[in-house]
Structure 1
Amino acid sequence: MAKSKILICRDIGEQAMALLRAQPDWELVVWPQDSPADAQWVLDNAPGSVGMVVTLGEKISEKVIDAAAVAGPELKVISTMSVGVDHVDLSAAAKRHIRIGYTPEVLTDAVADCSIMLALMASRCVTASQAMLRAGKWGSLGWGPYLFCGPQIGSGPTKKQSTVGFLGFGRISQATLVRMAAFGVTRCVYYNSGRVDRTAEDRALAAKLGLESVGRVELDELARSSDVLFTLVPGGKDTFHIVDEAFLRKMKKTAVLVNPGRGPIVDTDALVKALKEGWIWAAGLDVIEGEPNIPADHPLLHEPRCSIIPHIGSATIETRETMALLCAENLIGGLKEGKIGVEYTLA
């Protein structure tokens, strides 16, 4: 009996690959390089594949999905080693009844930790102070009473009122709030596009964390009241440039914007303008529009109050290994047992 063809667009690590190779009735076709799979290679090898393993680096377009049905059995499962699924054409997958496995919950703590790190880096002027240090200028500047000072995250020694805001209030946002509570924030506001009543849950969360309140607000209020704002919504047309010039102009001049979500959530041109003209204090970015193709002369790389890291929110060894294993298990479950452990629900 012919083996089922499985397209592996990236080697996802020793443990996960061993699990996939242990399937006796599968023929693995693996991209041989330690880089995102070439788009033409994916297209050429898609026909006849019943399952795919992909990462954020591969764009699984309608063209690829259609190509998979050209010869042999049709594609049944796409398993992605990511929480985001905007690199897969979900509409095309839905039309062909292709199921999607993904890896959301296992990276919650790692991304929440990274979100806090970015908030601290941005508020405490880490980019500008490190640039001075690496340029050998520390000696000429010495110490100054207010040199490289920034706004304190949380209440601080003055016990000020401090509001943390979240654009999106899912698992990662709530894990980030737990960490922010330790810094003495007094209030949490968030915006979710859905209108589900969370009043009881929000009151319980506020009591648990010792906050004055936790509650949903509209976008205008979110912008105006947040001292630190985390953007943690999925990518896509519904959230494209939701943080635009109008939004940024409503924020406090001492506010810090942190984007650990998706680059296109924030309008890059508007953010550059906001930082140059002082509409907000600073920004911390794990993601940026156009990534990973960010040239050395990108304007945000040269903004002293913008701290940027290259999409490493989930980059702990433990998290990535767990994501890889879940990715493999999702594919095996979907194809062999008819049940994907963690499945993305297609619209």
Structure 2
Amino acid sequence: MSSGGARPKVVVCKDLGPAMPPLLERKDVDIVVWPEDRSCERAWLLENIKGAAGVLVLLPDKVNQELLDAAGTNLRVVSTVSVGYEHIDVPLIGAERHTSWLYADVLTEAVADITIMLALMAGRNDGVAYTLVKNGEWCKPNLGWSPFTFCGPQLSTSLSSPTRTVGFLGFGRIAQATLSRLIPFGITHCIYTGSPTSQPDIARDDALQAKYNLKGLNRVDIDRLARESDVLFLLTPGGKETYHLVDAAFLRKMKPMSVLVNTSRGSVVDSDALATALREKWIWGAGLDVVEGEPAITSNHPLVKEPRCVMVPHIGSATFQTRLDMATLAIDNLIGGVFGGEMPAELKRPA
């Protein structure tokens, strides 16, 4: 639609499915929606954002000087369908424009679910075993059977492993929701690292340790995190501070039977180092929902080639319920910003 009349124009970079009808039915805005079921083309966005009062973007849509210049002075709000906002140059937007993002809570449960799934898949050789069945090789007589065929490290405690330590690189909402799901497996110890700028929350940690009847819940340094974790969950923000925190030196400190799970940002892990760690058996396996350079991940990627690496295409929040909640909240942020009303999740700038 055009932006004629006095109605403000808003640009939406993706059809948001069942969340869209209430937006499209509004009579007080002109809506321009990217019409195809793929990522929005930059040229289309730069052309259609001219004169817009608001824009709703996704992670691939960079909000930078080029986009702001194309939009002009009418732009009042940038809303993103994501918890992270690394794709938005927030300082550049300035105080006269609003930036909104999504509460972490909106996808906490869905991401915690898939984090557990990847830990189980990576530990129990799901990639190797599933491929064997899918390729019709299970029935081959030369496959044979032995007591330790396809065995991997158990997530839960056992007679031979009465203690299990889970580690978290980052210990926010999703990490704590993941921990709650691990308790029925008999996890005995939890260790984590936090942001260097944050203070330890001893009262919270004591309360969680008591609630889950853990033998220990401790904030540790990154070296101890690597050395002691039986399963290590990466649930930390991306950015310069965490870039390649998990590198070759880190991976060499991990246990040979340990499992690494990343459901945060691909940039936290050095992919080449992880591929080497898997190939040379520094660690047992890896479960990844995110990979540096995604989605440009081909069959030749070093991690795709590793049998003990289970990889899914960034689907941590991909449940019908969560994606509907995310889209609805992003639209509410957009409309609130355009009309100067309430934005449920506005990114507040420091005073």
Q: TM-score range by the shorter chain?
A: over 0.9
* 1:26 to partner: Cα distance: 0.9
Cα distance in structure 2, aligned partners of 1:11 and 1:50: 18
CA drift of 1:94 comes to 4.1
Residue 176 of structure 1 aligns with which residue?
178
1:29 matched to which residue of 2?
A: 32
How far apart, CA to CA, are the structure 2 residues paired with 1:95 and 1:277? 51
Could you tell me which residue of structure 2 aligns to residue 68 of structure 1?
71
State the alpha-carbon separation in 2 of the partners of residues 211 and 337 from structure 1: 48
Code of the aligned partner of 1:224: R
Q: Where does 1:323-342 land on structure 2 (aligned, <5 Å)?
A: 323-342=326-345
Q: Residue 15 of structure 2 corresponds to which residue in structure 1? A: 11
- In the TM superposition, what whole-angstrom CA distance separates every residue of 1:218-239 from its partner, at most 9, and x where no partner exists? 1111111111111111111111
Q: CA deviation at 1:297?
A: 1.3
**What is the match of residue 118 of structure 2?**
118
What does residue 132 of structure 2 align with? 132
In structure 1, the partner of 2:162 is 160
Unaligned runs of 5+ in 1: none
* Aligned amino acid, residue 258 of structure 2: A
Q: CA deviation at 1:96?
A: 5.7
Amino acid at match of 1:115: T
Structure 1 counterpart of 2:198: 195
Q: For residue 300 of structure 1, what is the aligned residue in structure 2?
A: 303
Q: Is the 8 A contact 1:80 1:103 kept in 2?
A: no
1:263 aligns with 2:272: no
Change (3 A) 1:179 1:24: same
- Distance between the aligned counterparts of 2:249 and 2:214, measured in 1? 29
Tell me which moved more, 241-250 or 114-123: 241-250
Report the alpha carbon displacement of residue 302 of structure 1 after superposing the two structures with TM.
Answer: 1.4
User: Is contact 1:110-1:319 (8 Å) kept?
Assistant: yes
Match of 1:148 in 2: 150
Say whether residues 1:93 and 2:93 are aligned partners: yes
Structure 1 residue 103: deviation in Å? 4.3
Structure 2 unaligned blocks of 5 or more: none
Residues in 2 aligned to 1:65 and 1:227: alpha-carbon distance in whole angstroms: 47
- TM-superposition CA deviations, 1:100-146 (whole Å, max 9, x none): 23242111111000000000000000101112222222123133200
1:99-110 mapped onto 2 (5 Å cutoff): 99-110=99-110
Q: Deviations over 1:42-64 (max 9, x none)?
A: 12222211111112232223311
CA contact (8 A) 2:104 2:173 kept: no
AA of the residue aligned to 1:239: T
The answer to whether the 8 Å contact 1:123/1:151 transfers is yes
2:6 is matched with which residue?
2
Separation in 2, partners of 1:212, 1:20 = 51
Q: Secondary structure at the match of 1:214?
A: strand
Deviations, residues 159-205 of structure 1 (Å, cap 9, x unaligned): 52111111111111100000011111111111111332300110001
Deviation track 1:31-50 (CA, whole Å, cap 9, x = no partner) reads 11011100111122222111
* Alpha-carbon distance in structure 2 between the residues aligned to 1:23 and 1:296: 45
3-state SS of 1:302 partner: coil
TM-score scaled by length of structure 2: 0.93
The 8 Å contact of residues 83 and 101 in structure 2, kept in 1 or not, is answered as: no
Tell me what 1:224 maps to.
227
TM-score (norm 1): 0.94
**What is the one-letter code of the residue matched to 2:234?**
T
Whether contact under 8 Å (1:257, 1:283) holds in the other structure is yes
2-structure distance, mates of 1:219, 1:126: 29
